[in-house]
Amino acid sequence: MAKISIRELNLYYNDHQALKSINLDVENKEIMAVIGPANSGKSSLLRALNRLYEIDYARITGKILLDGKDIFEIPINDLRRRIGIVFATPVVLPGSIRKNLSYGPKLHRRIGKSEVDDLVYNALTSANLWDEVKDRLEDSAARLSGGQQQRLCIARALAMQPEVILMDEPCSGLDPVSTAKIEATMLELKKDYTFILVTNNTKQAARVSDRTAFFLLGELIEIGKTQKLFTSPTDTRTDDYIRGRFG
């Protein structure tokens, strides 16, 4: 069974339709890349999956299933615990590195100090950030570099012990070294988590993903094995986009 099944999904902002009859299965523990030009609905797709679109006052029709269960039947805080998200610009919360990591878990249950210690260590280690920040866990998270902040955001998603991690252009503002670190992190974490990676960087999609979906103006144009999609796409629009012949 697919980890996430999307059936006939439409998403509207007022009158504007940002997603049009999307049908898509995301397999367990794969990295699925989502590519496409600006305004093709990539972010909207991610925000539909964890129901974050609701804070934008958007509306959806269709079905989204997580492990076969309708996401609207899962309590919203549980859904968002199971499906984490990392945004394009790193969103660190005010306060220390440690507080950034314990914020989410503390919303859901009471946890003691030693459990927080473990959680901080595990999340930072998994996000490849532990060595760089282990001596300054109480420092303000805002003082980290951009790349470190983004890895902190990944760690914060991991601290929730999610099943799926959505990434919305996580490397768009980062230098090549930080980008490489984040890609390496994803490849390591892949054995335990399912990823959906929105990226503007087709090379990045090619480097890390198993499958790639190409979106254009709210429609899913083509989906297939990454290798195949990049070498011999079936749709000419996909071909145009990956060859950079596109606006």
Ligand X SMILES: Nc1ncnc2c1ncn2[C@@H]1O[C@H](COP(=O)(O)OP(=O)(O)OP(=O)(O)O)[C@@H](O)[C@H]1O
Terminus-to-terminus CA distance in the chain, angstroms? 37
Residue 81 found at the interface with another protein (CB under 8 A): yes
Residues between 13 and 42 that touch ligand X (CB under 6 A): 13, 16, 18, 36, 38-42
| Shortest distance, position 91 Cβ to another protein, whole Å | 4
Residue 115 found at the interface with ligand X (CB under 6 A): no
The angle that helices 113-126 and 97-108 make with each other, rounded to 10 degrees, is 110
Instruction: Tell me if 222 sits within 8 A of 233, measured CB to CB.
Output: yes
Q: Which is nearer to another protein, 102 or 226 (by Cβ)?
A: 102
CA 226 to chain centroid, in Å, comes to 18
Residue 104 found at the interface with another protein (CB under 8 A): yes
* Binding span for another protein by CB under 8 A among 28-36, 85-93, 121-129, 235-243: 85-93
Starting at the edge strand found earlier in the chain, the sheet holding 83-86 runs 83-86, 164-168, 194-198, 31-35, 211-216, 219-225
Residues between 55 and 94 that touch ligand X (CB under 6 A): 56
Q: For another protein, what does the binding mask look like between residues 41 and 70, x meaning CB under 8 A? A: ---------x-x--x---------------
Among 36, 41, 84, 218, binds another protein (CB under 8 A): 84
